[in-house]
């Protein structure tokens, strides 16, 4: 079972970008996150939403992405 939330370093690995880039995306609002007891967490749905936004920006349809 996949986790519901990821730490920024784990989200970075999944997205194939640096941890710093994840924090930049969070700061600019491009990637949603929450703070829980001092921990920054990225919801799984936010990673999927960000990926879909990148696909849309690139002009890819779901069929092309497979």
Residues 24 and 31: their CA atoms lie apart, in Å, by 9
**What is the pTM for the complete model shown?**
0.84
pLDDT, one tens digit per residue, over 6-54 is 999 999 999 999 999 999 999 999 999 999 999 999 999 999 999 999 9
What range defines the domain where residue 24 resides?
5-65
The CATH number of the domain where 30 resides is what?
1.10.1660.10
pLDDT score, position 43? 98
If pLDDT is split at 50, 70 and 90, which confidence band does 60 have?
A: confident
Buried b (16+ CB within 10 A) or exposed e, 12-50: beebeeeeeebbebbeeeebebeeeeeebbbbeebbeeb
Number of folded domains that form the chain: 1
């Amino acid at each position: 079972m996949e986790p519901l939330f990821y730490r920024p370093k784990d989200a970075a690995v999944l997205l194939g970008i640096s941890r710093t880039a994840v924090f930049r995306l969070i700061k600019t609002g491009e990637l949603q996150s929450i703070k829980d007891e001092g921990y920054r967490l990225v919801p799984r749905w936010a990673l999927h939403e960000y990926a879909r936004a990148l696909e849309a920006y690139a002009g890819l349809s779901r069929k092309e992405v497979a």
